[in-house]
Chains A and B, each alone.
Chain A
Amino acid sequence: MSGRTWRLSNSLLLSRRAIAGRRVRRTAWNLVGIAVFVLMVFPVYWMVSTAFKSDSDINSIKPSWIPLHATLDHFRAAVSGDDHPYFWNSVRNSLIVVGVSVGLSLVLAFLAAVALAKFRFTGRKLFIVLVIGIQMLPQAGLIIPLYVVLARYHEVNRLTGVILTYMTCVLPFSIWTLRGFIIGIPRDLEEAAMVDGSTRLGAFVRILLPLVAPGLVATSIFAFITSWNEFIFANVLLQDQQRQTLTVWLSAFSGTGRHTDWGALMAASTLTAIPVVGFFLLVQRKIAFGLTAGAVKG
């Protein structure tokens, strides 16, 4: 056997061992990955599965990991039970507040974003700083000034007051994100349209609007999620049970009696989470981009 073939087979053997080692390591990492997955997702799983379990399964000391006796009772109790009225009321309130504030904010934010992205004007930089800066304020810090202002105009305990409040949160964010989307559209397209005899408005409607549409959708969905989840302001501003939004309704759920109806609570939680989770999965990619586009690129 010549030295050369010996060396070859030896190196083959070595690399085979290396591959085997890598495979073992990869399997180990995979196991770690799955463990992390289980840890992170477990609370969500537990919420949904508890919502479907029967009361005796929920209250036994030894937890049952899988809901074998699935039941819809808890959902029924949460939505229309005597102990928990106002579910549909809260849903309606949430929808009104979120719908109106997101709708108005988006129209305003879109126009502001176009101005920021396309034109140079005095105070533009200051405006950008303000738009980003406002988002940095701790929300709890805004409760008092907002409460005082709204109380002066008799808007406390009214949905309009909450709508105005939510707009102050949603607007800056929407302006900033939309601006990012608009900047991504080449100026030439619009200019070409104008050279071809289109008016500025025409170019705006026919060129810019369709191109920004996906951005508009993503932004509005994210705005929807933030306002749907909002709790602090709704809790402070809406005192009547008939006027509360879904998050406030949910937070009051466990505090009513000494014995907590865990099944119904989890069913209610699941119901509150569903629209958000659904929408979130749709736009998650775009938003992660929007929030950190600058950071990752820079």
Chain B
Amino acid sequence: MLRTVVFTVANVGLTMVLGTLIALLLLRVSTFVRVLLTAGLVLVWSVPVVVAVQVWYWLTNFQNGVVNYSLGLGQHDWYATTFSQLAMVTALIVWGGIPFVVVTVYAGLAQVPRELVEAAEVDGASSPRVFLDVTLPVLRPVLLILTSLSIIWDFGVFTQPFLLIGQSKLHSANYLMGVYLYEQGYAKSDFGRGAAISLLMLLMVAALSVVYVRKMVRLGDER
């Protein structure tokens, strides 16, 4: 339970921070690199989750995975400890989650008035300051929605840990809520307990969902 919360925070945090940074990076590169990078991100975005899992499994394979070779780690087994198993799942989720965040934040950045940024620069503000005081307030609604969506998605994540860690290696020490739910409710056919877990999960994301749903409904009615 606590593990799931920590896991979700780590995933969402990494996805959001890296995603926003890449979006900011897109503003600074030349057109060619921007198109290239966007195309690459969209490509990553479109890779089906199940496929992505298989590819990561191959990349991090301990015998002749390319990651071990590149880092000069010999035959390091990435799935030996609970921590590193979950870290691999995190890497996979963050990798898959970044493109959506980048594309959305980049669209949001287009809303930042250029004059405001220039005015701040003329007034001698450093670029972190410009980001904090000018860009961030404009981006806030976008970031808010993205964060709540990501939390909801990552909290209930199932496919990635279930397949990447592999059914045989899953045990109570590396369960995330989604997987725990599956094991209890389905694999052990304890429908009662399964239903209880899923209600718990619902309650935990409910607060966030309310924020998101209210925002969407309000926007929907305005249009």
By a beta-carbon cutoff of 8 Å, the part of chain A in contact with chain B is: 25-26, 29-30, 32-34, 36-37, 40-41, 43-44, 46-47, 50, 58-63, 125, 128-129, 132-133, 136-145, 147-148, 179-180, 183, 225, 228-229, 231-232, 236, 247, 250-251, 253-255, 260, 262, 265-266, 268-270, 272-273, 276-277, 280-281, 284, 288, 291-292, 294-298
Contacts and interface: CB of A to CB of B under 8 A. Distances in A.
Interface in B44-77: 44-59, 61, 64, 66, 69
Contact of A46 (B59, B141, B198): B59
Given A129-B213, A139-B156, A141-B156, A273 B219 contact: no
| Interface of B, helix, strand, loop or mixed by DSSP | helix
Given A32-B25, A280-B42, 4 more contacts: A132-B213, A133-B209, A183-B223, A291-B100
A295 B142 contact: yes
Contacts of B116: none
A129 B125 CA distance: 43
A284 B50 CA distance: 20
Contact of B198 (A26, A34, A138): A138
Nearest to A259: B63
B33 A47 contact: no
Interface in B201-220: 201-202, 205, 209, 212-213, 215-217, 219-220
Nearest to A141: B198
12 contacts: A33-B34, A44-B44, A44-B55, A132-B212, A140-B177, A140-B198, A143-B194, A144-B186, A229-B48, A253-B54, A273-B51, A298-B222
Given A140-B182, A281-B46, A26 B30 contact: yes
B36 A34 contact: yes
Contacts of B213: 129, 132-133, 136
A64 to B, nearest CB: 10
B82 interface: no
B37 A250 contact: no
B64 A144 contact: no
B122 to A, nearest CB: 14
A99 B59 CA distance: 33
Contact of A250 (B44, B51, B194): B51
Interface in B150-176: 152, 155-156, 158-159, 163, 166-167
Given A128-B220, A272-B50, A231 B159 contact: yes
Contacts of A273: 46-48, 51
Q: Which of A30, A43, A139 has the most CB of B within 10 A?
A: A43
B158 A250 contact: no
B55 A138 contact: no
A186 to B, nearest CB: 13
B28 A232 contact: no
